[in-house]
Structures are given as C-alpha cells and as structure tokens.
Amino acid sequence: MEKDPSNQGEFQTNYEDDATLTNRQGHPITNNQNIRTVGNRGPATLENYDFIEKISHFDREKVPERIVHARGAGAHGYFEAYGKVGNDPASKYTRAKLFQEKGKQTPVFVRFSTVVHGLHSPETLRDPRGFAVKFYTEDGNWDLVGNNLKIFFIRDAMKFPDMIHAFRPDPVTNIQDARRFFDFCANSPESFHMVTFVYSPWGIPANYRMMQGSGVNTYKWVNQEGKAVLVKYHWEPKQGIKNLTVKEAEEIQGKNFNHATQDLYEAIEKGDYPEWELLVQIMEDGPHPELDFDPLDDTKLWPNDQFPWLPVGRMVLNKNPENFFNEVEQAAFGTGVLVDGLDFSDDKMLQGRTFSYSDTQRYRVGANYLQLPINAAKKRVATNQEGGQLRYYNDKAPGQNPHINYEPSSMGGLKEAEQAGVEHTPEIEGHLVRESIDRNDNTKQAGETYRNFEQWEKDELITNLVNDLVICPKDIQDKMIALAQQADEEYGRRLREGLLEKTESMLKENPDFSPHPLGAKNADHAVEDAVNKGHEADPY
C-alpha cells in the first residue's frame, strides 16, 4: 500500500498506512528497537512513553490462571438440532428454542482442557478433561460445562476445594504426590468409581477430538406447560474414541507436550472438522426410590438399558481461534448460564458449581467479562449494571433514558419481559440438614465398570494403581484394596497381589519412597538419571 502522510502540507508529520505500528494512543512508532537514552550507552530517561506503555502492558498481559481447567484449547463451530428427542418432538420435553426445528443451527464455542494441571503442562498427563460448550442462542447464551468422563469424584460441593488441594502439588514441595491423592480418595470412598476410570486408559485420552463429553451434573428440561424432566447430556465423537496407556503417553510427551492442541488446530485448518452427536438421557423428576442410586448423585452413571441415550443434534467445529488469549484464555463458562426451557436440578454439586464458576471469571477476567466478544451474547443485551474495571460500553436499550439505571420506573427505564411458557415450580419439602445422599453404595458401579473393561484396560488399571499406591502408607493401601474388593473380587485380589509384589521389589531397590506425579512410572529414576546422565561442562 502506498504510504500517505498523516498530516498534509507543510505540517506533515509521520508517514503511515494500515500496517504501521502504533502505540495504544494511536501514535505511529518510528523506532521500536531502542529506548531513549543519554548517548547510546545510557542511562535511560523516565519519559520513555512508548517503552513504558509497551513494557508495563507486557508486565500485565497474563490474567490469573484458572484454579482448575487452566490448560486448554478451543474452537468455533455450530450445533445443528434434529428437532426431535429420539422419536419424539423436542417440544414434548423442553421449550428451549435451539432444539425445536430440524436443521436449526446455533453458533458455539468449545473449550477443551485438563483439570488439575497448570497452563503449560503436558497434555498427556493422567487427569479428567474438561469439555465446555458455549451456545450463542437467540435467547442468550447457554453454557454446557462438563468433562470427558461421565461421573465425578465427589457428590457434594463442600468437598471440592479439599479434593483439588489434594490433587494439586504439595504446598511445601510443589510436587504432585500420589500419596496425597489417595489419602483423600481412600477417605472419600464415593470417589472410587471415578478413580477406576481415571487410572484406566480412560484417564489419558489420545486427544481432544477423540474423546467423549458429558454434562456430568443432572439438569432439568422444562416444556411449555411447565412440566420438568431430569436430563443428562452426552457428547459422542464421530471420530471414534481413543485412549492411551502410560507407556504410549510417555513416548508422545517426549516428542510433543502440546500434541492435543496441535491435533485439534491442524485438523480444523485442513478441513477435517471434528463432529460430536449430542444425546440425552431423560428421567421423570423425583427421587426414584426404586433405583439403587440417587439420580442426583454425580458419582453414578444412569444405566442406558433403563434410560436410553436419545439423539437431539450434532456439533461441528470448523473454525480455529484468531487469537488464543482473546478467545480461549478469556472464554468464561458457568453452569448457571441457562436459557428458557433449561433448568437446575437439586444436584448439590451443580448448585455449588453454579456460584463458583461465574465467580472465578469475575476474579480472573473482571466484572465486565461478559462484554468481551467471546463471552458476549449474540443478541441484544440491556441491563442496569454500571461501572466495574474495563467496562467499555453501557449495555442500554435504544431509546432508554440514560438517567434511569434502575427498575421499576415510569421515566423511560427498562421493563421486565413477559413470560410465555408456564414457570416450573417444583414442590420442596423437608428439614434443612447437612447430610450425605442416603443411597450411597460407593462400589457397585465401579465393579460393573471394571467388568466392562477389556482385558488390556484391566491390566493397565491395576498396573497404574499399584505403581502409585506402592508409595502410600499401608492404611491407605488397605482402604483402597477393601474398596476394590467390594467392587469386584478379581479387582481386589489383583490389586492386593500387585501391591504385595511391587512393595517387596521396591523395598530392595529403594526403601525411601519419594513423591511423584500421578501415573508417573519410575519418576524417581528420572531424578537420578538427570544427575547420572547429565553431561559435564566447563564454566564460561
């Protein structure tokens, strides 16, 4: 492009065009190589405005890391509704508009993540994977926030901070320690089903494209008459499902610790768009005393022979982010972000998460995080909210009296919407208590899951558990063996025998067991190898 002077005639200043570097004030930058100094050796002067703006922004260009789900990748796409739930019209169960018409497309943004590990951790680590979908619907945003695995470690949100503390690095050594993990899990027996999944190959998905997704929590759907049903969400990848063994994961990590992010990006770039089908399980609202589990218990699966998976639509990811920070890092999801026709169940984990998820985004990104393009609804927004850090527009209605930032008002302020569908008003009765769900069989489904594993998955599960439990105190080992024994006789026997054999061999090799990350086979050897195999060098 031919350069045009920014000012014409005798008062011409700098030449610039659309590709000219500027600072944030719009001033063209004529020297981006050197700060202003007294002579070319310095010292520097304080009035280096361009440098100060550049370096001070650099000092602040990272926002606080997510407490969980820090490491992530994302992509844009669309959700296409089938117009039906199985063979029934969607309207039978929900009045949510995005499900009603066959072929109706809703824009989405999806963020995949690991849960426990940090922002630049390897994508091969043993960990659940986050699977969060933001639907930009005509009624506003809906966030379906879940994981790749369909259950969770705990059933009550009170235990969530303790769980994450136990799974994250030791506050003294800053090393993730399997002893802390199993100390929590052995003393929280409801976690055993999830432990069975996480320590199997399902704990290391091959990549993001080839893993399932799940809402995990129990939600409700509400139809036009205000009648509600309980619902579970499931994403099934059309690419198939692939998981890794520890050995395979270590080999991949040695070559590329960003492999899953790269896989997703490159697949979309070459037009191999990943696709998932969304299916739901539906149950009549209520406690269902005929079941041996509570449908609101996040540690339990709903058996698909009793509650079949019903297809409702498909999702295609067809566009990569233009800027990772703006779109992936600042993307903010919350389990409380629902549209009309979708509702909360009494799931205690869901209700705890609903405060936590949006609260953490206000801390990380700021009070006005919903004004960022990646988080903003793709429809009109009009509120009476004011101020807050980094607010850059007022979301007011056309013609709204700018002096009126409250409701109700008869002076040109905002008005309440008129509700079309019948409001869902569940009847609530009972004493306020602090008690666990009473149908709390912690091992039955874990045994069923173990028996459904293929033989190589069972072998990998036992090996992985043994390698980590061997460094744990005997009382923790005994508790985990007892849970495995309750789940399945073979499961318990193999774990007990494996631990006995591994303990004897390790005592001979290394009587002082050291902490190591989950599933990190021979982690102690790596520390020694770095010393023994390191190449000496002279100082310079």
Sequence-distant (6+) residues with CB within 8 A of 194 are: 149, 151, 152, 153, 299
DSSP state of 22: B
Rounded to whole angstroms, how far apart are CA atoms 507 and 246? 23
Rounded to whole angstroms, how far apart are CA atoms 36 and 38? 7
Cα–Cα–Cα angle for 292, 236, 206, rounded to 5 degrees? 105
Rounded to whole angstroms, how far apart are CA atoms 467 and 199? 11
Q: For this structure, is 27 an active site residue?
A: no
92, 108 in Cβ contact below 8 A? no
265: exposed, middle or buried (Cβ count in 10 Å: 0-12, 13-18, 19+): middle
Strands 15-16 and 275-284: unpaired
Helix or strand run (H / E) with residue 77: strand 72-81
* 3-state DSSP assignment of residue 441: coil
Rounded to whole angstroms, how far apart are CA atoms 528 and 278? 48
Sequence-distant (6+) residues with CB within 8 A of 111 are: 69, 72, 73, 74, 130, 132, 134, 328, 331, 333
Q: Which of 275, 361, 269 is nearest to 319 (CA)?
A: 269
**For 83, left (φ over 0), alpha (ψ -120 to 50), or beta?**
left
229, 93 in Cβ contact below 8 A? yes
Token pair belonging to 336? 């409380």
Strand partners, 135: 108, 142
Helix or strand run (H / E) with residue 88: strand 88-89
Rounded to whole angstroms, how far apart are CA atoms 499 and 466? 5
Identified catalytic residue from 141, 147, 368, 464: 147
Q: What backbone torsions phi and psi does residue 9 show, to the nearest 5 degrees? A: 70, -150
412, 401 in Cβ contact below 8 A? yes
Q: For this structure, is 147 an active site residue?
A: yes
* 3-state DSSP assignment of residue 241: coil
- Cα-Cα-Cα-Cα dihedral of 73, 148, 208, 277, to 10°? -110
Identified catalytic residue from 69, 76, 117, 193: 69
Enzyme catalytic residues: 69, 147
